[in-house]
Structure 1
Amino acid sequence: MIDASVIWLQLPSLALVAAVLVAAILRGLLALEKVRQFAPDVPNHRSLHTQITPRIGGWAMVPIIVLGMLGWARTLWPIALAALFVAFVSQFDDRRGLSARVRFAAHGLAVLTVMLGFSLSLAGWKLVLIVFLLLWLINLYNFMDGADGLAGGMTFFGFSAYAIAAASAAPDLAGGAALVAGAAAGFLVFNWPPARVFLGDAGSVPLGFLAGALGFLGWLREVWPFWFPALVFSPFIADASVTLCKRLLRGEKFWQAHRTHYYQRMIQMNGSHLGPVRMAYGLMAVSAVLALISMQMPIGIQWTMLAAWGLILISLGWRIDCRWRQYIQEGTY
């Protein structure tokens, strides 16, 4: 059993070790010419980048996270192994391409394995709802991995909030989250605009899975309320969910690549990644802090703060939509 009295000293050390190892691995991989050729992200008409960039972020992050979780706490083994499984499947998708049916089946198997491993009593509509939410979180994380520094930043802020919230009540969960946050920091060394590496599906899909799996575990243990993970990752959830609804209403295939996310439109209007990503970091930081503060409040105040934050995100989306229409009308798109 991990001693909760020293967890606050251990968490920064875990994060730092993960960051250093991930950064060192990426530096070594970038020195290998064959690695650059093996997993290149070649720009196309839907891309926001202009240079061929290797998709190797997951190659460094996932092994460090998985090995760290296996060594940190036995309770995290099902989550760690399931994350490794989806990373392996996603690497095939990065390299050769897999059908949406195969990808979704692999995601579903990982989610069900973890959920049933931790809660055999969960069944009925609760099981269906949570499986759906976790599957959506996996895929939206992949959808939102399209800008330099964006997914890495959400990972750092989101899992840092998990680690802080769980530090006293669930040290094993806090340590796992700290490992992910640290790995994200190491990745950002090479993903900060202009990015030298991308996550790739082998990185973004496991991170989305971990966000859902650790969030589910925290709720199951009553470390945090049901809404906590949703609020922590609300910048990603709001952008991806609203964009999905719009695409479905237009009859588009939502799983195909596109450039209609709010963050993508901000980058196109701004002409660079840096400004919009900095703004996104502000939203991520506020979401994380708000979630941590709200946990300590009475139920009524919690829901009031959630509603207020939801209105803020809606107003920001409306403002971006207005700016985008003006951008289109001016003929600059």
Structure 2
Amino acid sequence: MMQKSFLFVVVWAFSVLLVRIMIHVRVLDHPVARSAHDTPIPTGGGIGIMTAFMAGFAPACTIWGPASARPATGGFIGALALLCLVSWYDDLHTRPIALKLVAQFAAAMMIVACLPAYTSPLTTVGGVAWLVFMANCVNFMDGLNGLVSGTSLCACLMLPWLAPAAMATAITPITGSMAAATAGFIPFNFPNARIFMGDVGSQGCGMVLGTLGLMLAHDGGTAWAIVPLLMSGLLCDVIFTLVRRWRAGESIVTAHRGHLYQVAHRSGLPCTVLAPLAWAMCLWGGLLAWLLRQGALPLWAAFTLAGAAQAVWMEYVRHRARTHHVGRW
């Protein structure tokens, strides 16, 4: 136990060190019309998160021992490294979205290839699509201090307790390393941002959470529902926004400020309200997942209650948009 705790402390400290370095490197994110900040802020905090995570993952797997459901260490780290390198290049020099998508699909295919359960064409295609969706979902939602990083931290802390006992050895090295690395970043980003995570952090976190979802889905039963329930706040916001923009004839790939959390922020709600609210939605999803795993709640009820919470939030944001004159969204 002491060895495991020490490893996660080291991962946390390494993340803190790297985030501090990236603050002094000062690659600035200059505000644009859709930004929630109005002064240039350093970006690249995700380098601290993902580098510390990848550095801690291999020794964590050694401490917890082998697990058949876990992705192969080298391939998993290689896929994340590829995604992070392309994401950092995009942060430095904004490139066409096609480059980002190619990197996401390449990383997703590498990860699925490292998961022994995903061998048929159908499961491979489904797994790749899920990973790319999760990477973009988390990336889309990373526009407010602490919202994505805090939600990711909450999800990683809850997953080992929600997963089937047989999966604990497989997922704990991933969730523990990611939680420690993310915890090293959050104090520099919330409530007042000294640095942003950038695409490196948001896409990397999304890909890791997506991988955990694939691992749990392979376990069978209702375990596949755990990650979607935990991330229901982010997933519903993205799906609602994409459908609304598509129906309005607007581009779904062009950057905008029409996500529910962005509209709520434009209506006057601060990040100190919106980020904890997102964390609370993750905790709510975790409670529903726990009740589901205990057999106290059927699958349809768990998703209905998760959707009901999101429906209330959507209607509240729509009300604020009407009463606070946020303009077109």
Shared fold, TM over 0.5: yes
Q: 1:31-85 CA distances to partner (integer Å, 9 max, x unpaired)?
A: x3xx11xx21001111110121111211211111011112222754132221111
Q: Given the alignment of the two structures, is residue 293 of structure 1 paired with residue 286 of structure 2, yes or no?
A: no
- Residue 3 of structure 1 corresponds to none
RMSD of Structure 2 on Structure 1 (CA):
2.4
Compared CA separation, residues 11 and 307, structure 1 to 2 (3 A): farther
Name whichever of 170-179 and 142-151 sits farther off: 170-179
Question: Which whole-Å CA distance do the structure 2 matches of 1:311 and 1:246 have between them?
Answer: 18
Question: Which whole-Å CA distance do the structure 1 matches of 2:52 and 2:15 have between them?
Answer: 7
Question: Which whole-Å CA distance do the structure 1 matches of 2:220 and 2:264 have between them?
Answer: 38
Question: Which whole-Å CA distance do the structure 2 matches of 1:112 and 1:224 have between them?
Answer: 25
Match of 2:267, SS state, is helix
Give the counterpart of 2:233 among 219, 229, 235.
235
Compared CA separation, residues 53 and 310, structure 1 to 2 (3 A): same
- Residue 181 of structure 1 corresponds to 179
Give 1:130 shift: 3.0
- Residue 43 of structure 2 corresponds to 55
Q: How does 1:254-333 map to 2 (within 5 A)?
A: 254-297=252-295, 301-328=298-325
Give 1:135 shift: 1.1
Residue type at the aligned position of 1:158:
A
Q: Given the alignment of the two structures, is residue 123 of structure 1 paired with residue 120 of structure 2, yes or no?
A: yes
8 Å CA contact retained: 1:108, 1:135: yes
Question: Which whole-Å CA distance do the structure 2 matches of 1:89 and 1:223 have between them?
Answer: 36
- Residue 65 of structure 2 corresponds to none
Compared CA separation, residues 123 and 188, structure 1 to 2 (3 A): same
Q: Given the alignment of the two structures, is residue 145 of structure 1 paired with residue 115 of structure 2, yes or no?
A: no
Question: Which whole-Å CA distance do the structure 1 matches of 2:95 and 2:293 have between them?
Answer: 40
- Residue 22 of structure 1 corresponds to 15
- Residue 246 of structure 1 corresponds to 244
Question: Which whole-Å CA distance do the structure 1 matches of 2:200 and 2:3 have between them?
Answer: 28
Compared CA separation, residues 121 and 48, structure 1 to 2 (3 A): closer
Q: 5+ residue gaps in structure 1? A: 1-5
Match of 1:270, SS state, is coil
Aligned length: 319
Question: Which whole-Å CA distance do the structure 1 matches of 2:76 and 2:162 have between them?
Answer: 19
Residue type at the aligned position of 1:59:
I
Q: How does 1:92-171 map to 2 (within 5 A)?
A: 92-119=89-116, 122-166=119-163, 168-169=165-166, 170-171=168-169
Q: 5+ residue gaps in structure 2? A: 63-69
